[in-house]
Amino acid sequence: MIIHPIEPLFDKNSKTLILGSFPSVKSREQMFFYGHPQNRFWRVLAGVFGTEAPQTIPQKREFILSHNLSLWDVLASCDIEGSSDSSIKNATANDLDVILKHSKVDRIFVNGKTAEKYYIRFLQGKYNMNAVCLPSTSPANASYSLERLIEEWKIIVRS
């Protein structure tokens, strides 16, 4: 059983929550979200907001907070082989109260179908908030080009 080692990233001004499934091996090593260089998460968000992709953890943290976003994962613990979402077993969910009670979050997006599956199973009923499923930024989602991901993810920008 692996316990999620990364604290949620949010502040009192966060309005949009983006949830992954569970951190990859690289993310767990770095103790920060989307740490694998092949994951397109940071490049997608940079494209959505028309900025340079943040490179360092402090830059990534500032990027998220400056856009009133928050980041975490659906799962608090699970058995997982490497970083393979398809191998997840014995999953337990994170308690989103820590974010929802201390921020302005009123919209939730999930990064990929695995995050959506576990969100629906464990959290949707508890919080009575639907999550919008966005295509995964994982390199395993090879059917989506970076440009196509950016277009799909533009929904997170508030009008």
- The first and second tokens of residue 23, run together, are 């951190």
Into how many domains does the chain fold?
Answer: 1
Question: Which residues fall within 8 angstroms of residue 145, CB to CB, at 6 or more apart?
Answer: none
Nearest by Cα to 98 from 118, 78, 127 = 127
Nearest by Cα to 80 from 19, 24, 141 = 24
Nearest by Cα to 22 from 142, 143, 138, 101 = 138
Read out DSSP for the chain? -EE-----B--TT--EEEEESS--HHHHHHTSSS-STT--HHHHHHHHHTSPPP-SHHHHHHHHHHTTEEEEESEEEEE-STT-GGG-EEEEE--THHHHTSS---EEEEESHHHHHHIIIIIHHHHT--EEEEPP-STT-TTS-HHHHHHHHGGGS--
Whole-angstrom distance, CA of residue 88 vs CA of residue 153: 25
Does pTM top 0.75 for this prediction? yes
Q: According to the model, what pLDDT value does residue 11 have? A: 98
Sheet holding 89-93, edge to edge: 2-3, 75-79, 89-93
Question: Which residues fall within 8 angstroms of residue 18, CB to CB, at 6 or more apart?
Answer: 69, 70, 71, 108, 109, 110, 111, 156
Domain span at residue 29 reads 2-156
Local mean pLDDT, 10-residue blocks, the chain (159 residues): 97 98 96 96 98 98 98 98 94 98 98 98 96 96 96 90
Q: According to the model, what pLDDT value does residue 21 have? A: 97
Check which CATH number belongs to the domain holding 31 and give it: 3.40.470.10
Q: According to the model, what pLDDT value does residue 158 have? A: 73
- The first and second tokens of residue 11, run together, are 């502040």
